[in-house]
């Protein structure tokens, strides 16, 4: 099973290797805030910590609520970025009927300027959103990823109350 999951990660990483949210480096807008604040940790997807084992220098911890967190030092090899970094600041929201929609990740609200959709210069590239949609349509065919995206969708939606 793990072999199959690792294959899935390899493919997903490749699809999300070069694509970026904007047509230029969005780190210029905020001095790479999401990486600088990476010490708070990026959530890893199921078995991703094992897939990354030996590939990353970042620390990986297991949290009490059952998630794995990658704690980086604000810099990394691009090829070893976890999925959460590759899709940031978006998230594939999965509702209880199984509908998938890629939208701004509310957890990024306190740091990421890409939430301001009324500024044309920083409109998130449609192809970035489409690529995430495609990758996660495929990933959520597996119950492991389906359940994980459902769980995080509920957690993120819960945050709406505070915004
Ligand atoms: S915080 Fe947002 S704008 Fe800044 S580098 Fe990260 S994704 Fe780009
Ligand atoms: S792992 Fe890399 S891309 Fe992700 S937050 Fe850390 S430095 Fe940024």
* Residue 38 CB less than 6 A away from ligand 1: no
64 burial via Cβ count (<10 Å: 0-12, 13-18, 19+): exposed
Q: Which residues contact 116 (CB under 8 A, 6 or more apart)?
A: 122
pLDDT < 50 positions in the chain:
none
pLDDT computed for residue 122 by the predictor: 86
Q: What is the pLDDT of residue 4?
A: 94
Q: How far is it, in rounded angstroms, from Cα 79 to Cα 101?
A: 26
Nearest CA to ligand 1 atom 5: 27
* pLDDT score for 159: 86
Q: What is the pLDDT of residue 9?
A: 97
Q: Ligand 1 centre and the CA of 153: distance in Å?
A: 21
> Which residues have a Cβ under 8 Å from the Cβ of 147 and sit 6 or more positions away?
none
Task: Specify the pTM.
Answer: 0.94
Determine if ligand 2 sits within 6 Å of the CB of residue 89.
no
Residue-range domain boundaries for the chain: 2-162
At residue 151, the pLDDT reads 94
Q: Chain-centre distance of CA 9, in angstroms? A: 13
Residue 145 — φ and ψ, nearest 5°?
Answer: -80, -35
Q: 161 alpha carbon to ligand 2 midpoint, in Å?
A: 28
Q: What is the pLDDT of residue 119?
A: 83
Mutate to test the pocket of ligand 2, among 13, 19, 34 (most ligand atoms within 8 A of CB): 34
């Amino acid at each position: 099973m793990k072999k199959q999951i690792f294959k899935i990660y390899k493919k997903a990483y490749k699809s999300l290797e070069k694509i970026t949210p904007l047509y230029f480096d969005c780190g210029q807008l905020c001095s790479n805030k999401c990486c600088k604040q990476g010490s708070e940790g990026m959530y890893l997807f199921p078995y991703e910590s094992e897939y990354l084992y030996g590939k990353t220098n970042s620390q990986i911890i297991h949290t009490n609520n059952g998630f794995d967190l990658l704690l980086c030092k604000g810099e990394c090899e691009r090829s070893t970025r976890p999925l959460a970094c590759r899709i940031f600041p978006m998230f594939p929201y999965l509702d209880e009927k199984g509908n998938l929609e890629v939208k701004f990740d509310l957890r990024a609200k306190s740091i990421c300027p890409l939430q301001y959709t009324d500024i044309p210069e920083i409109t998130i590239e449609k192809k970035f959103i489409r690529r995430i949609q495609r990758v996660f349509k495929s990933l959520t065919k597996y119950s492991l990823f389906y359940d994980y995206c459902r769980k995080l969708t509920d957690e993120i939606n819960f945050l709406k109350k505070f915004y």
